[in-house]
A and B are shown apart, each in its own frame.
Chain A
Amino acid sequence: DAGVIQSPRHEVTEMGQEVTLRCKPISGHDYLFWYRQTMMRGLELLIYFNNNVPIDDSGMPEDRFSAKMPNASFSTLKIQPSEPRDSAVYFCASSPPRLGGVSSYEQYFGPGTRLTVT
């Protein structure tokens, strides 16, 4: 398996523009996570899905952020309109089904998208 795939790897955009980040999870994984990493705040969980359904979006900073998972092999994170404070590395991760319990298994991270908003 190629692992978690994210695109683009780098995105530079101007304030006010719409940004769409894309993620393809590992086949067979039914959990998908979106994280944001900055020096100041570390790694923050934005939202996660189970079987394509959003389970917890309490980490989404504000209404400018939205995430979708239309099928098991694709998810998007959209920022509209973007602001300079959104500059960060955004990671997508996936993990396998939780057999027999609720505790999580290891997560597999993509390479990240480095977003710069000027």
Chain B
Amino acid sequence: SQQGEEDPQALSIQEGENATMNCSYKTSINNLQWYRQNSGRGLVHLILIRSNEREKHSGRLRVTLDTSKKSSSLLITASRAADTASYFCATDAEKLVFGKGTKLTVNP
């Protein structure tokens, strides 16, 4: 299956700490995307990294991609309570396939 697998399934940290989530996948991809889902809401796109890119930044977000290991990581720096959400990686080969997500809780 192409589906990305996020790790860990759940993560609980204190406000101000950094949060790191990982994603592994099995097949070659065109790009990899990260999405956030707040409870009871739709998914929101965070960042897209193409297969020929190794690192990308957007505000407090840093995404890395290692195609040789078929893995990606999402780092959220200086976390805030508002970052509490589920985070999904989505891998794109012929179509976008989402993993099961990491549930992040940021405690005030």
Chain B residues with Cβ under 8 A from A4's Cβ? 42
Contacts of A109 in B (CB 8 A): 42-44
Q: Closest CB-CB distance, A57 to chain B, in whole Å?
A: 12
Q: Which residues of chain A (68-118) have a CB below 8 Å from chain B?
A: 91, 93, 101-112
B90 to chain A, nearest CB (A): 8
Which of A101, A103, A110 is packed against the most chain B CB atoms within 10 Å?
A: A103
**Shortest distance from the beta carbon of A2 to any chain B beta carbon, whole Å:** 13
- Cross-chain contact B31 with A104 (CB below 8 angstroms): yes
Q: Give the chain B neighbours of A106 by CB distance below 8 A.
A: 33, 45, 48
B88 at the interface (CB under 8 A from A): yes
**Contacts across chains A and B counted by CB atoms under 8 Å:** 47
Query: Chain A residues near B97 (CB, 8 Å)?
Result: 45
CB distance from B76 to the nearest CB of A (A): 18
Residues of B within 8 Å of A48, CB to CB, are: 95
Q: How far is the CB of A14 from chain B (nearest CB, A)?
A: 24
Check: A43 CB closer than 8 A to any chain B CB.
yes
Interface presence of A56 (CB below 8 A): yes
| Residues of chain A contacted by B96 (CB below 8 angstroms) | 33, 45, 104, 107
Q: Would you call A42 an interface residue if the criterion is a C-beta within 8 Å of the partner chain's C-beta atoms?
A: yes
Q: Are A103 and B43 in contact (CB under 8 A)?
A: no
Can you report 7 residue pairs joining A to B where beta carbons are below 8 Å apart? Answer: A45-B97, A91-B43, A102-B94, A103-B50, A104-B30, A106-B48, A107-B96
List 6 additional A-B contacts (Cβ < 8 Å) besides A33-B96, A112-B42.
A43-B88, A48-B95, A106-B45, A107-B43, A107-B45, A107-B96
